[in-house]
Amino acid sequence: MQVRGVRGAITIKEDTEIAVLQETDRLLREMIKANKIDPEQVASVFISVTDDITNAFPARAMRAIDGWSYVPVMCMKEMAVPHALQKCIRVMMHINTTKRQREIEHIYLEEAVTLRPDLVQHRNNQD
């Protein structure tokens, strides 16, 4: 068993509490489903947001998922790089697994597909 990172990202249309929580929930559930993740496998979760997201902590969405309240999670700000994708929530989930790197399904939704089109294309080819 090894620790592997599972990446995910999603953009929101507007910075509201509801949008942050709903879209983070959507992203997390897709990551969990695609990789068949049990909360007991998770060592930690880092969630970053761009500077234009200020109305909610996205970690609240994870805490609302049944069985995930004890998983360590930390929210932080993403680097402010000129011309970077805006209104973006990124997740890095560290899981204990026997899967190989290539078997991990990284999830990119909405405009965040532009962050790693190579991984999105790989996933679409597997479906």
Task: Look up the CATH number of the domain holding residue 101.
Answer: 3.30.1330.40
Q: Is residue 78 among the annotated active site residues?
A: yes
CA distances to 30, 65, 73, 120 from 21, rounded to whole Å, are 14, 11, 15, 23
90 is catalytic: yes
pLDDT of the residue at 8: 98
Which residue in 75, 88, 105, 110 is the catalytic one? 75
Number of domains in the chain: 1
Q: How many Cα atoms sit within 13 Å of 31 on the Cβ side?
A: 27
Instruction: Reply yes or no on whether 7 is catalytic.
Output: yes
Q: Which of 26, 29, 60, 116 is catalytic?
A: 116
Residue entry with tokens 């068993």: 1
pLDDT for the residue 77:
98
pLDDT tens digits for range 29-60: 999 999 999 999 999 999 999 999 999 999 99
Provide the domain limits for residue 16: 2-126
Q: Which of 56, 48, 52 is nearest to 92 (CA)?
A: 48
pLDDT above 90 covers a percentage of the chain that reads: 91
d(CA 26, CA 119): 19
User: Which residue did the predictor score with more confidence, 119 or 97?
Assistant: 97
Q: What is the mean pLDDT of residues 97-113?
A: 96
pLDDT of residue 75: 98
